[in-house]
């Protein structure tokens, strides 16, 4: 039997979930209309008042909100409670444009940590576990979220933060860590480092909770095999609270969205039209239990599919697929849509490690796509002619997957810089022109 954290909520009937969502949506709309002039203006521009929103059937009447709104309203413009009621902020890394800052009351933190606790329990976590958290701490939500969730479960929590791989492995061995929480790219690097040191037998890990960036099924299998664990996906975003918006159960077929806290929609990113279950589109969230920073119809830019199909785990909350890329991260090369995950699938299917970099540039008014791929030590010792044959094989496979030509360069093991947080997979030099 799966070990549920809150079965009365996670396995509730559809009628019950809808009743919660109806009531909480109405309250949240009233809350933001009353307390956030920015929202009131947006609603007035659309000619609606809170009275127009009586249930989730009216959700489509509400305006969308985007990252640009969050930037425009930075830092306090979307705050829905007095600042004195807030106890924490978290923030996105903000590599482009202004950072996004999210505010939390103590109630908001509690609910967020509940969501993370559900994710840990869904991965088999109990109070007997040693939860090794090497997501970054600080402004990034990964560390604090999983840390708080682990406390709620009652597990021994190792607040390792990211970096210092030697120390990570030493603590893992000495303290017998059983659940690893980090980005999948760092998990792959840790797995590689543990195998190189021949320490697999000293590792007691049974599960990993990996998210914050896109990763493929091939990468999951690779990490699972190397570390002898079951690897679970976890999804979330700073704007909507952080990790734990959705998480995988033992079925590993999509992530259950915590529907008692968030209403999910999938829309056509071009028209804004709401799409039915099973259709691919942009994920939109409405938070219905937050006090300080509730967001209504927030466009995540993540592309995925929703499914209400019955899950063998017994949970009834809707499932989302892994994000299949972001509508804004998608690369358009020579007019063709290219998702880094497609390239990763080709590489991992052929036994290459998940260490690669995609470089897009412009030469003579034409796009150039280059993929640097690290070889395994075995491949590296191959004769030069074999390396060239491998490159040729990858060029053909990428052409078949993407429909366009990519230059492939096989490079020596360990030459592509490792990330301790989210991996930097794409370098788009065209932005510099
Ligand atoms: O990455 C929150 C998080 C921390 C999630 C730890 C899971 C684990 P942000 O830095 O605001 O928040 O980035 C949010 O990361 O819109 C997605 O594009 C991407 N992302 C998050 N989880 C996944 C995942 C955190 N499991 C953005 N698979 C989101 C693919 C993910 N992409």
Position 330 confidence tier, pLDDT thresholds 50, 70, 90: confident
Site to substitute for ligand 1 among 142, 212, 231, 330, most atoms within 8 A of C-beta: 212
- Tokens linked to 114: 């509940």
pLDDT at 433 over 50: no
**H-helix or E-strand containing 20?**
helix 14-35
The superfamily (CATH) of domain 1-327 is ANL, N-terminal domain (3.40.50.12780)
CB atoms within 10 A of CB 154: 13
Query: 383 CA distance to ligand 1 centroid (A)?
Result: 41
Calpha distance 60→38 (Å, rounded): 19
> Can you give the length of the chain in residues?
433
Residue 254's alpha-carbon distances to 214, 235, 289, 313, 322, in angstroms, are: 13, 10, 23, 12, 6
pLDDT averaged over every residue in the chain: 93
Give the closest residue (by CA) to ligand 1 atom 12: 237
CATH class of 331-432: alpha beta
Protein residue whose Cα sits closest to atom 4 of ligand 1:
142
In 61-121, DSSP assigns E strands to 86-91, 101-105
Lowest mean pLDDT across 130-134, 188-192, 214-218? 214-218
Nearest CA to ligand 1 atom 30: 214
92 CB within 6 A, ligand 1:
yes
Instruction: Give the three-state DSSP class for 318.
Output: coil
How many angstroms separate the CA atoms of 334 and 40, rounded?
Answer: 42
Residue 388 dihedral angles phi and psi, to the nearest 5°? -65, -40
Q: What is the mean pLDDT of residues 20-32?
A: 98
Q: 235 CA to middle of ligand 1, Å?
A: 5
* Cβ–ligand 1 contact at 391 (below 6 Å): no
Tokens of 34: 């009353």
Alpha carbon 20 to chain centroid, angstroms: 25
Q: How far is the CA of 223 from the centre of ligand 1 (A)?
A: 19
**298 pairs with which residues across the strands?**
65, 285
Q: Are strands 306-307 and 336-338 parallel, antiparallel or unpaired?
A: unpaired
Which pLDDT score, from 0 to 100, does residue 372 have? 96
pLDDT value for 22 = 98
CA distance 310 to 24: 25
Which residue is it, tokens 């734990």? Answer: 244
Predicted local distance difference test score (pLDDT) of residue 94: 54
Instruction: Specify the 3-state DSSP secondary structure of 138.
Output: coil
pLDDT band, very low/low/confident/very high, at 4 (cuts 50, 70, 90): low
Nearest-CA residue for ligand 1 atom 14 is: 237
**What single DSSP character describes residue 300?**
E
Whether 285 lines ligand 1, by a CB cut-off of 6 Å, is no
For the Cβ of 212 lying below 6 angstroms from any atom of ligand 1, the answer is yes
Percent of the chain with pLDDT over 90: 80
Structure tokens that stand for 145 in this block = 């979220």
Q: How far is the CA of 213 from the centre of ligand 1 (A)?
A: 5
Residue 134 Cβ contacting ligand 1 at under 6 Å = no
pLDDT at 2: 41
Give distance in angstroms: CA of 41 to centre of ligand 1.
Answer: 30
For residue 326, the ligand 1 atom closest to its alpha carbon is: 18
Question: Which helix H or strand E contains 30, and what residues bound it?
Answer: helix 14-35
Q: Contact 267/63 with Cβ under 8 angstroms?
A: no
Q: Where are the domains of the chain?
A: 1-327, 331-432
Residue to mutate, 102, 236, 329, ligand 1, most ligand atoms under 8 Å from C-beta: 236
Ranges of H-type helices in 36-100: 37-45, 67-72
Which helix (H) or strand (E) element contains residue 132? strand 130-133
The SS3 call for residue 5 is: coil
């Amino acid at each position: 039997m799966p070990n549920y954290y809150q079965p009365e909520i996670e396995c509730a009937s559809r009628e019950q979930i809808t009743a919660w969502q109806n009531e909480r949506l109405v309250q949240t709309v009233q809350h933001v209309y009353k307390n956030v002039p920015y929202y009131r203006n947006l609603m007035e521009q659309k000619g609606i008042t809170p009275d127009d929103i009586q249930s989730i059937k009216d959700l489509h009447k509400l305006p969308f909100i985007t990252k640009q709104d969050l930037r425009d309203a930075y830092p306090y413009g979307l705050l829905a409670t007095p600042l004195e009621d807030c106890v924490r902020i978290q923030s996105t890394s903000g590599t482009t444009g202004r950072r996004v800052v999210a505010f939390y009351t103590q109630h908001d933190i509690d609910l967020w940590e509940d969501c993370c606790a559900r994710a840990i329990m869904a991965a088999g976590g109990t109070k007997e576990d040693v939860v090794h958290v090497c997501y970054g701490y600080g402004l990034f939500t990964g560390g604090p979220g999983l840390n708080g969730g682990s406390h709620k479960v009652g597990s021994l929590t190792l607040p390792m933060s990211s970096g210092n791989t030697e120390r990570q492995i030493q603590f893992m061995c000495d303290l017998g860590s059983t659940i690893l929480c980090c980005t999948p790219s760092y998990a792959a690097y840790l797995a590689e480092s543990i195998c190189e040191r021949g320490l697999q037998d000293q590792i007691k890990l049974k599960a990993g909770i990996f998210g914050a960036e896109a990763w493929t099924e091939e990468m999951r299998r690779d990490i699972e095999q190397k570390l002898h664990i079951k690897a679970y996906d976890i999804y979330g975003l700073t704007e909507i609270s952080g990790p734990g918006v959705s998480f995988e159960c033992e079925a590993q077929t999509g992530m259950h969205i915590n529907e008692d806290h968030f209403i999910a929609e999938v829309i056509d990113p071009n028209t804004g039209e709401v799409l039915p279950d099973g259709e691919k589109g942009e994920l939109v969230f409405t938070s219905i239990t937050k006090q300080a920073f509730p967001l209504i119809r927030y466009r995540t830019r993540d592309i995925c599919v929703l499914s209400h199909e019955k899950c063998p785990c017994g949970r009834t909350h809707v499932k989302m697929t892994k994000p299949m890329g972001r509508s804004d991260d998608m690369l358009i090369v020579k007019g063709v849509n290219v998702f880094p995950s497609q390239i990763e699938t080709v590489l991992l299917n052929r036994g290459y490690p998940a260490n690669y970099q995609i470089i897009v540039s412009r030469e003579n008014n034409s796009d150039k796509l280059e993929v640097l791929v690290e070889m395994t030590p075995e491949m590296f010792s191959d004769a030069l002619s074999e390396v060239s044959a491998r490159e040729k094989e990858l060029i053909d496979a990428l052409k078949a997957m993407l429909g366009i030509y990519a230059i492939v360069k096989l490079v020596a093991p360990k030459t592509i810089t490792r990330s301790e947080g989210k991996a930097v997979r794409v370098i788009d030099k065209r932005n510099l022109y």
